[in-house]
Structure formats: structure tokens, C-alpha cells
Amino acid sequence: MTDTSAVKDALRRQQIETPSWAYGNSGTRFKVFAQRGVPRTPQEKIDDAAQVHRFTGVAPSVAVHIPWDKVDDYAALSAHAKERGVRIGAVNTNVFQDDDYMLGSVTNPDAAVRRKALDHLLEAVDIMDLTGSRDLKLWFSDGTNYPGQDDIRTRQDRMAEALAAVYERLGADQRFLLEYKLFEPAFYMTDVPDWGTSYAHCLKLGPKAQVVVDTGHHAPGTNIEFIVAFLLREGKLGGFDFNSRFYADDDLMVGAADPFQLFRIMHEVMRGGGYDAETGVAFMLDQCHNIEPKIQGQIRSVMNVQEATAKALLVDVDALRSAQDSGDVLGANGVFMDAYNTDVRPLLAELREEMGLDPDPVAAYRASGYYERVVEERQGGQAAGWGA
């Protein structure tokens, strides 16, 4: 049997980072539905992120996206976060929205465009120096739409050159996390399409280059937990971008489509020591809320990760290993399913009360009056949105 006190201790240590862009108006290519009270500035995004931490107790950092969160004084932005009880987390780069990047950023055939993109990546490291951030998040939309459009090998050379320059600029306590994406907006060939490509680049560079797994960036049927297990075994799993997908990169609330998959992933995280601080795995959300309330959507997402984690921690690992070693197929699966089918909500409610929190974070937030206050206060100005 699993010791529930040990489970609680592990859950207390868990930290889940929320993204600044989740608090602005964001949605699909078809329509972005504007909501009342959304932030107008990076500071107001941090204010909203602080509410998620206030009611969950496990979301102490907020990722920023440059230039969406560009400010004149990043040290002051970091101080603002500290005043609100949170901190600046990963710095995300943007080399996919400028017209110059139509044919790619760091893999573009034009050397001037490649230089512009690299300068932005290096600027992001400068920002990390000011905010005290450990992680630089790199995602590239680079790729081609037609066979023969550009040389595949040459584009990999350009990618490797840019990554090496960024790696060289990193400080001793900094690292970059290289994301991958199967397709979109490059529909014939994406320059970093899968975990293997990301892993190969990171392996060549060294320990400060790690792979980040976005749970929505895989082909249908991909066994993500195998990827997690492999990267942890190799010491190359830097973190997660948690979301949920039904068809492609839907960026829905984590666990919405397949909570069992999330549980399986978290089990492999536990099995590979990914909860240990020295492993350095970052648990981050990467979601856009188009029809659901922003802050509530983030609170619910944090709770979904907590529930999957709690179930993973409840797996009777001794019984599971015994069944596996004896070839007891159904017995091993039964141990696994017993943990998944456990209702962990009472355990988490009890844990929150022990932490001085309301056992129901969503209800507590709704009752706080924060939403009504910001709707009243955030009149005028330009509401933050996707790409701003």
C-alpha cells in the first residue's frame, strides 16, 4: 500500500507554471472571443497568475512571452511579480509572427533574416539575466510547404548553428528547452518536427540543452509516455507544455480529452525521478482559453495536473513490479488501474486545508470578488490578446 502522507509531501513540493498568454484574449484562427476584465499589460497578467497561485498554492511562477510581454524594465517586472507572491518563470521567444519569417526564422535562406531571429533569441537571454529566469523556451515554426522548396540538410545546418550560438550565450544556471511540433504552419516539412530531432540537437550541444514535451504536438496514437520515459532515462527531459488535444494542437485544458493519458505520463515522470528537484523537470501549462473564463481555466488545469499526479503517486510500485517480474499481465494492469480509478479529490481537499487553502479552489476564487473587481478596474486601454 502507498503511504498517503508521502503522497501529500510530494504534492506539496509540486510546482506548476502558468503562461502569461493564457490570461489574455486568445482562441482559434476562426474567432477570438473577447472577455471582460482581461489584462491590458504584462503586470496585469502577473496579477491574474498570482490569483491561481493564491487559490492552488502550487503555481508560484508565470512564463512570459517576448515581445508579447515586452516592457522597458524587466527587473521592475520581476519585482512586481515578487510583490504579488509569484516569480517570472520561463522566457518564451517569438520568431514566427513577423513578415520576415514567411520562409523561416533561423533556417531562412536569407542570412539577414537569420541574423534578426538569432538576435531576438539572444535578447531573450538578456531578459533572463534581468528576471532571474532559468529556462529559455524555443519553438520554431520553420519549415517548408512544398517538396524542393528548400534543402532539408542545409536547414538543419542553419538550425544547429543558431542553437549553438544561443547555447554559448547561456549563463551557468540557465538552460534552453527545445520544443518540437509535428506540423503547422509548415505542412510539408517542419525543421523540428519530433522529439527525436529535438533530442539530437540537444544531445550534441550538452547539458544546458533539454527537450520540452508539448502534449498536443504529436501524431494521433503517439505513445507520449514512452517519449517521457526515454528522455528521463537519458537525462534530457527539460519540461512539459501541458494542454489537451482532440485533433491537433488544440491547446485545450490539460486532461480534457484523455485524463488517462495524463495519468500515464505522470506515472512515467514518477518512475524516472522527474518529481525530484535535482532532475529539473519543469511542469508548465501552455493553453489558450477562448470560451472558458481565463483564471478559472488555469485553476482547473492546475487541479487536473494535481489529480493525475496524485493518482500516479498512489500506484503500488512494489505490487506492480512483482506482477511485472512474474509475467502477470492482468495483475500488473490491475495494480495500474486501481490507482487511476481512485478518487483523489478528497485527498487533495484535505491537503489544501492542511496548507491553509480552501479545499475547492474554483469556488474560493469565484467567491473572492476578484473577477468583478478587475472587470470594473480594467476599463479602457487595449486588452491583451494572442500576439500582443
Q: How many CB atoms lie within 10 A of CB 368?
A: 14
Backbone torsions φ then ψ of 172, nearest 5 degrees: -60, -35
pTM over 0.85: yes
- When pLDDT is averaged across residues 103-113 and rounded to a whole number, the result is 98
* pLDDT at 388 (0 to 100): 57
In the chain, the number of structural domains is 1
- When pLDDT is averaged across residues 74-96 and rounded to a whole number, the result is 98
Query: Which of 139, 143, 159, 140 has the alpha carbon at shortest distance from 204?
Result: 159
- When pLDDT is averaged across residues 190-196 and rounded to a whole number, the result is 98
Q: What is the pLDDT of residues 233-255, one digit of tens each?
A: 999 999 999 999 998 888 899 99
Domain limits at 21? 4-377
* pLDDT at 166 (0 to 100): 98
- Over 80: is that where the pLDDT of 383 sits? no
| 105 within a domain of the structure (yes/no) | yes
- When pLDDT is averaged across residues 142-166 and rounded to a whole number, the result is 98
Q: What is the pLDDT of residues 266-282, one digit of tens each?
A: 999 999 999 888 889 99
* pLDDT at 191 (0 to 100): 98
Q: What is the pLDDT of residues 38-63, one digit of tens each?
A: 999 999 999 999 999 999 999 999 99
Q: Is there a contact between 130 and 85 (Cβ–Cβ < 8 Å)?
A: no
CATH code, domain carrying 301: 3.20.20.150
- When pLDDT is averaged across residues 62-78 and rounded to a whole number, the result is 97
* pLDDT at 276 (0 to 100): 87
CB within 8 Å of 169: residues ≥ 6 apart: 122, 125
Cα 171 to Cα 76, 93, 178, 377: the distances in Å are 21, 17, 17, 40
| 385 within a domain of the structure (yes/no) | no
| 331 within a domain of the structure (yes/no) | yes
| 233 within a domain of the structure (yes/no) | yes
| 386 within a domain of the structure (yes/no) | no
Which residue carries 519530433 as its cell? 194
| 308 within a domain of the structure (yes/no) | yes
- Over 60: is that where the pLDDT of 347 sits? yes
- Over 80: is that where the pLDDT of 29 sits? no
| 335 within a domain of the structure (yes/no) | yes
How confident is the prediction for the chain on average, in pLDDT? Answer: 95
- Over 60: is that where the pLDDT of 1 sits? no
* pLDDT at 387 (0 to 100): 65
